[in-house]
Chains A and B, each alone.
Chain A
Amino acid sequence: MKKVYIQGAGSISSQKTFDNSEFLDEISVYNDTVISVVNPNYKEYIPPAAARRMAKGIKMGVVASRIAMQEANVEQVDAIITGTGMGCVVDSEKFVSAIIDNNEEFLTPTSFIQSTHNTVGGQIALGMGCKGYNFTYVHASNSFESALLDAKMQLELGEASSILVGGVDELGAHTIKIHRLIDHIKENAVTPATLLDSKSSGSVFSEGANFFVLGNALSERCYAEVVSVEMYNTLPLENLEETVEAFLKDNNLSTEEIDVVVMGNNGDVAYDNYYNHISSALFSETQHVYYKHLCGEFNTASSFGMWLGAKILKTQQIPEIVKLNETKASAIKHILLYNQYRGENHSLSLLKKC
């Protein structure tokens, strides 16, 4: 089977990550329960005629993918695979509220068209004239991992040699409002520094887009090798340890060989115990890293985790702001990523230095 490398990355997040020459050098600190992205200048990338109907999610996806492709130095890919939990949720909200408010009259098509989940992937393809394979996965916190797995399978089997894969989600006002009602969003404001100690339910809701060019060709530009990705629709806490061990065994690795564990802690007191459990039970001597205090929580937040892991492997540096503990991780070779949301849709991904 052929190997799969991350050849380029583009990240739009609540931190200024769209500039690939930086690595979390300046942190934008919030004190809130909902945070939005630091916007790049979308106009630099998207002509006004094309942008006029684009939802924010589309703009973020188009620009993040453009940045990734520029970095990978490719103008075309064989396939575009997108993960998104909610798609262009603002347009979904607009269309539903218009149906109710106007009693089904005088509705216009634009927000309906944008509301279909595959709009981002379709618009990226349209923008670059890519007639290749185009898929959109919409499975909550495993939306991005599904896209990643699909891309990895195609590249390993030689069905494609270069694939654009990413995760994107945008914030919507009504969605925020109703998720406050069911305590999925924290009641009181937190800062990046206090998120994990908040001892309250819910998380900080956010948005973002992280896209990657994956390919078979290894070059100096590459970030990392994508070795493995596994998803689990359910995973009881009591099975977590054995599942992680089995995953590592499948990849011929021991827990000691993992240099960094990137974890999706989001400060939700009811569900962070999954992360706490594996860090103490399996990786007590390993460097732990987290990121949702920087990018917030959204269905495809784990794509930011992938960006972080890839960046750590490429630079061999771990910014202080993401460290959960202090160990002497010297040469970083293997990074394990673990994510879940509200105890469902768990994923384990393995990156390797290339």
Chain B
Amino acid sequence: MSDLKQELKEKIIEQLNLEDVAVEEIGDNDALFGDGLGLDSIDALELIVMLDKDYGIKLSDPKEGRKIFESVEVMANYISEHRTK
């Protein structure tokens, strides 16, 4: 599980071009959107594609994404439960 979280943090940084953010700076329970990491709706769409491509999870409604992407912890739990690859 902690491997998955580490992997997710790396992917978030790479995928969303967060050049000035280090893996250590993202806490497992930090908010990714809003006041936390400051991600926005376009980032949410990027992450939805990542779920599909890397973990075989398809979301049809962007609103679902918002809940899943609350924090790395929540994301990791969701992925472990639903991943198909």
Bound state CA distance, A93 and B85, in angstroms? 30
Bound state CA distance, A106 and B51, in angstroms? 10
Q: For chain A, residues 82 to 116, give those with C-beta under 8 angstroms from any C-beta of chain B.
A: 106-110, 113
- Are A108 and B19 closer than 8 Å at their CB atoms? no
Of chain A, the residue at the smallest CB distance from B21 is: A48
Q: Smallest CB–CB gap between B85 and chain A, Å?
A: 13
Of chain B, the residue at the smallest CB distance from A109 is: B45
Of chain B, the residue at the smallest CB distance from A54 is: B17
Cβ–Cβ < 8 Å partners of B45 in chain A: 108-109
- Are A109 and B42 closer than 8 Å at their CB atoms? yes
- Are A108 and B52 closer than 8 Å at their CB atoms? no
Bound state CA distance, A52 and B20, in angstroms? 9
Is A221 interfacial (CB 8 A cutoff)?
A: no
Q: Smallest CB–CB gap between B49 and chain A, Å?
A: 5
Is B18 interfacial (CB 8 A cutoff)?
A: yes
- Are B19 and A106 closer than 8 Å at their CB atoms? no
- Are B42 and A53 closer than 8 Å at their CB atoms? yes
Is B7 interfacial (CB 8 A cutoff)?
A: no
- Are A108 and B49 closer than 8 Å at their CB atoms? yes
Interface size class of A (residues with CB under 8 A): 10 to 19
- Are A106 and B53 closer than 8 Å at their CB atoms? yes
Is B23 interfacial (CB 8 A cutoff)?
A: no
Bound state CA distance, A48 and B16, in angstroms? 12
Is B38 interfacial (CB 8 A cutoff)?
A: yes
- Are A52 and B42 closer than 8 Å at their CB atoms? no
Q: Smallest CB–CB gap between B45 and chain A, Å?
A: 5
- Are A113 and B53 closer than 8 Å at their CB atoms? no
- Are B52 and A106 closer than 8 Å at their CB atoms? yes
List the count of A-B residue pairs having beta carbons below 8 Å apart.
23
Is B46 interfacial (CB 8 A cutoff)?
A: yes
- Are B42 and A113 closer than 8 Å at their CB atoms? yes
Cβ–Cβ < 8 Å partners of B16 in chain A: 52
* Residue from B17, B46, B53 in contact with A109 in the complex, judged by beta carbons closer than 8 Å: B46
Cβ–Cβ < 8 Å partners of A48 in chain B: 19-20
Cβ–Cβ < 8 Å partners of B19 in chain A: 48, 52
Q: Smallest CB–CB gap between A116 and chain B, Å?
A: 13
Is A49 interfacial (CB 8 A cutoff)?
A: yes
Q: For chain B, residues 17 to 64, give those with C-beta under 8 angstroms from any C-beta of chain A.
A: 17-20, 38, 42, 45-46, 49, 52-53
Q: Smallest CB–CB gap between B31 and chain A, Å?
A: 15
- Are A52 and B52 closer than 8 Å at their CB atoms? no
* Residue from B38, B49, B52 in contact with A49 in the complex, judged by beta carbons closer than 8 Å: B38
Cβ–Cβ < 8 Å partners of A49 in chain B: 38
Bound state CA distance, A108 and B38, in angstroms? 19
Cβ–Cβ < 8 Å partners of A53 in chain B: 17, 42
- Are A107 and B17 closer than 8 Å at their CB atoms? no
Cβ–Cβ < 8 Å partners of B49 in chain A: 106-108
Bound state CA distance, A53 and B15, in angstroms? 10
Of chain B, the residue at the smallest CB distance from A49 is: B38
Bound state CA distance, A113 and B45, in angstroms? 12
Cβ–Cβ < 8 Å partners of B17 in chain A: 52-53
Cβ–Cβ < 8 Å partners of B53 in chain A: 106
Bound state CA distance, A194 and B47, in angstroms? 50
Bound state CA distance, A113 and B15, in angstroms? 16
- Are A108 and B46 closer than 8 Å at their CB atoms? yes
Cβ–Cβ < 8 Å partners of B38 in chain A: 49
Q: Smallest CB–CB gap between B2 and chain A, Å?
A: 27
Interfacial residues, chain B to chain A (CB-CB below 8 A): 15-20, 38, 42, 45-46, 49, 52-53
**23 A–B contacts from the bound complex (CB under 8 Å):** A48-B19, A48-B20, A49-B38, A52-B16, A52-B17, A52-B18, A52-B19, A53-B17, A53-B42, A106-B49, A106-B52, A106-B53, A107-B49, A108-B15, A108-B45, A108-B46, A108-B49, A109-B42, A109-B45, A109-B46, A110-B42, A110-B46, A113-B42
Extra pairs beyond A106-B52, A109-B42, A113-B42 (6, CB < 8 Å) = A48-B19, A53-B17, A108-B46, A108-B49, A109-B46, A110-B42
